[in-house]
Amino acid sequence: MSKFPKRLLAASTAMATALVAWPLIGTSASAAEPHVDNPYAGATQYVNPTWAAAVEGAATRASDPALAAKMRVVKNQPTAVWMDRISAITGNADGNGLRFHLDRALLQKQAGTPLVFNLVIYDLPGRDCYALASNGELPATAAGMARYKTEYIDPIAAILADPKYQGIRIAATIEPDSLPNLITNISHPECQQAAPYYREGVKYALDKLHAIPNVYNYVDAAHSGWLGWDANAGPAAKLFAGVARTTAAGYASIDGFVTNTANTTPLVEPYLPNSSLTVGGNPIRSSKFYEWNSDFDEIDWTAHLYNLLVAEGFPASTGMLVDTSRNGWGGAARPTAASSSTDLNTYVDQSRVDRRIHRGAWCNPLGAGIGERPQATPAGYPASHLDAFVWIKPPGESDGASTDIPNDQGKRFDRMCDPTFVSPKLGNQLTGASPDAPLAGQWFESQFVELVRNAYPVIGGGGTSDQVAPSVPSGLQAGTVTSTSVALSWTASTDNVGVTGYDIYRGTTLAGSSTTTSFTATGLTANTTYSFTVRAKDAAGNVSAASTALPVTTSNTNNPPGGCRVTYSANSWSTGFTGSIKLTNTSTTPLTNWRLVFSFANGQTVQQGWNAVWSQTGSTVTGSATPGSWNATIAPGGTVDIGFNGTHTGTNTAPTAFSVSGQACSIG
């Protein structure tokens, strides 16, 4: 919450102008709203009836009455209205136009109580330059820029400036992801191309919207897992300040910043309050999950950013919004206490409420839940200068399609939304995205159900009486793996909901769900990695959240017993070493898409490597060929040289067993 009134002078001047230019038409509801410090203070917020109707549809279809009741609680929450393309201004097949919503906002406004209308400005030329799922309609060209100004911002500004709407406080989220992409992704050609248009477009939007006294500009400031590192945060604050200085009103054109837009980064990591805490001799911020980023959550990031912004010249009244629509992380998988492990990564992984496999997993992440309900001036975080918690991303609207879906909006298929994709951006892990997702912005009912179930704080109270679905099955593991099948088993859900069976997912639900705690997936392809999850069901058809995903690689038929030989050597220094491996195909058939597995005995950790894709789970290391790459096939008698840099503490014993596709290799 910010303390100081901003633009007092400008606001009163604007009011005086308003009185001259906009004759009042007699009701208090239409009186011009002065520009205040925090528009959310003492205000209600607009509930989007189109979105509420989609939620009501889901509630009608939910066979479980308790779940339907929760959905009907959610339905009454305010969410933002996105202007995600030019046609959204007048309305299109996906929704009603801006005037429709503003007219409904006038009807929702109670006399004497201000109302905030959350609006999202999202159509920059070259939109979503580092991803594909929300690419837009305007190219990153001068012509695209001209259309952005005349066909997008100008008509929006003209509607917002209609005196009819002067009594509504309009809070505009300005261009999610745009300026943050210029900090971290400027080496990406699409972002380089878009950069000048992002700066110019944001400046243009700020100028046009700030000129309307009842509009408040909140510039998107990514989230802690994106800009939290000092090396990103400082340059981001400078970029925001630089863009502000190009506007006519300077810093005053920006009322505040909004973080976590459409993301699932937690507001607070309750069991990791101190990033400097050491476990096993290392600060927890140095864990794999936090990668030396001290900002673990949005409370950290907003406080960090606020200080940097004020140092750059922004006024002390600058306020912060956090999009809490999907960052709840409740449900059975939520930890209830800090871990007692003495291993750094285990400690962090068991303590964090953010259950994603990587903080970069932005697309429809499984396991997320609805977060804090929208509220003004949330108490308890003075250093964060919060104006409000808001729901910018309407829960239930997809982040991107999990398969390629043709469309006329410019949106493309981003593999980060594909649950079967092992992403290099996520440390070569599966994306953890929800299966069967429609195009970005479209209603995604199964995700909505999960968001409601995993809400934290829980919706409608708490305790076991609030539980409407079975808890998540745990301990998913693979038994016998052949080239075409994987035998799975897991631990039953034990809770107060009668579990009647389990659905097994591999991208989509597999046919033949199981009434026991085991299942064999068949019809698979040799030497291919599949990600399995399992969900429990009850008699009413309620389904739990997905279990932790289990990646399993089917065995490779082309590596017969005794078909490989490994030579391993390590060059060690105090805590580091270089491991070199020669992998020879000693069989008489080519070895394709090889996958070498071995274990370290002394806690050694692979940091990065070459000529193979490296990953490590616990002590088990996998180095695999990139399919289609130059060394993906080893001819009979042929050898590939692969290697990595690693760390060790003390002893650095060489692995004693190596296997390719489950077959042991000879050593030497």
Positions marked catalytic: 177
Task: Provide, rounded to whole angstroms, the least separation between the CB of residue 156 and ligand BGC.
Answer: 14
Question: 């943050």: which residue's tokens?
Answer: 180
How many whole angstroms separate alpha carbon 41 and alpha carbon 376?
5
How many whole angstroms separate alpha carbon 466 and alpha carbon 433?
26
Q: Between residues 167 and 441, which has the closer beta carbon with respect to ligand BGC?
A: 441
Name the residue among 636, 629, 627, 624 with its Cα closest to residue 563: 636
Q: Interface with ligand BGC includes 440 (CB under 6 A)?
A: yes
Size of the site for ligand BGC (CB under 6 A): 10
Q: What are phi and psi of 91, to 5 degrees?
A: 110, 145
Question: How many Cα neighbours within 13 Å face the side chain of 227?
Answer: 30
Token pair for residue 71?
Answer: 């959905």
Residue ranges of E strands in 266-424: 278-279, 282-283, 319-323, 375-376, 386-390, 422-423
Residue 514 has what DSSP assignment?
A: B
Question: In 3-state terms, what secondary structure has residue 593?
Answer: coil
Q: Interface with ligand BGC includes 331 (CB under 6 A)?
A: no
Question: 């929006």: which residue's tokens?
Answer: 156
Helix H or strand E segment including 395: none
Binding test (CB under 6 A) with ligand BGC, winner from 175, 397, 414, 436 = 397
Which stretch, 63-71, 280-288, 327-335, 394-402, contacts ligand BGC (CB under 6 A)? 394-402
Q: Interface with ligand BGC includes 137 (CB under 6 A)?
A: no
How many whole angstroms separate alpha carbon 549 and alpha carbon 333?
13
Task: Provide, rounded to whole angstroms, the least separation between the CB of residue 135 and ligand BGC.
Answer: 9
Token pair for residue 39?
Answer: 């528009």
Residue 549 has what DSSP assignment?
A: P
Q: Between residues 33 and 399, which has the closer beta carbon with respect to ligand BGC?
A: 399
Which stretch, 6-14, 390-398, 457-465, 510-518, contacts ligand BGC (CB under 6 A)? 390-398
Binding test (CB under 6 A) with ligand BGC, winner from 399, 414, 436, 503 = 399
Task: Provide, rounded to whole angstroms, the least separation between the CB of residue 571 and ligand BGC.
Answer: 48
Q: Between residues 114 and 396, which has the closer beta carbon with respect to ligand BGC?
A: 396
Which stretch, 217-225, 313-321, 391-399, 611-619, contacts ligand BGC (CB under 6 A)? 391-399
Token pair for residue 211?
Answer: 């000129």
Task: Provide, rounded to whole angstroms, the least separation between the CB of residue 136 and ligand BGC.
Answer: 8
Task: Provide, rounded to whole angstroms, the least separation between the CB of residue 416 and ligand BGC.
Answer: 12
Q: Between residues 295 and 414, which has the closer beta carbon with respect to ligand BGC?
A: 414
How many whole angstroms separate alpha carbon 419 and alpha carbon 423?
10
Task: Provide, rounded to whole angstroms, the least separation between the CB of residue 228 and ligand BGC.
Answer: 22
How many whole angstroms separate alpha carbon 416 and alpha carbon 359?
12
Binding test (CB under 6 A) with ligand BGC, winner from 374, 394, 432, 435 = 394
Q: Interface with ligand BGC includes 438 (CB under 6 A)?
A: no
Residues 569-588 that bind ligand BGC (CB under 6 A): none
Name the residue among 483, 434, 430 with its Cα closest to residue 617: 430
Which stretch, 198-206, 348-356, 393-401, 546-554, contacts ligand BGC (CB under 6 A)? 393-401
Q: Interface with ligand BGC includes 134 (CB under 6 A)?
A: yes
How many whole angstroms separate alpha carbon 372 and alpha carbon 619?
38
Q: Between residues 67 and 262, which has the closer beta carbon with respect to ligand BGC?
A: 262
Yes or no: say if 162 and 107 are a contact pair by the CB < 8 Å rule.
no
Residues 256-275 that bind ligand BGC (CB under 6 A): 262
Q: Interface with ligand BGC includes 200 (CB under 6 A)?
A: no
Residues 490-519 that bind ligand BGC (CB under 6 A): none
Q: Interface with ligand BGC includes 306 (CB under 6 A)?
A: no
Helix H or strand E segment including 571: strand 564-572
Question: 């950069």: which residue's tokens?
Answer: 195
Q: Interface with ligand BGC includes 441 (CB under 6 A)?
A: yes
Q: Between residues 37 and 190, which has the closer beta carbon with respect to ligand BGC?
A: 190
Yes or no: say if 318 and 2 are a contact pair by the CB < 8 Å rule.
yes
Token pair for residue 619?
Answer: 């002590």
Q: Interface with ligand BGC includes 82 (CB under 6 A)?
A: yes
Token pair for residue 146?
Answer: 């001209």
Q: Between residues 130 and 271, which has the closer beta carbon with respect to ligand BGC?
A: 130
CB-CB neighbours of 313 under 10 Å: 12
Task: Provide, rounded to whole angstroms, the least separation between the CB of residue 400 and ligand BGC.
Answer: 7
Which stretch, 185-193, 392-400, 543-551, 558-566, contacts ligand BGC (CB under 6 A)? 392-400
Say if strands 605-610 and 639-647 run parallel, antiparallel, or are unpaired: antiparallel
Task: Provide, rounded to whole angstroms, the least separation between the CB of residue 144 and ligand BGC.
Answer: 17
Task: Provide, rounded to whole angstroms, the least separation between the CB of residue 547 and ligand BGC.
Answer: 27
Residues of the shown chain interacting with ligand BGC in the complex, contacts defined by CB under 6 A:
82, 84, 134, 262, 393-394, 397, 399, 440-441
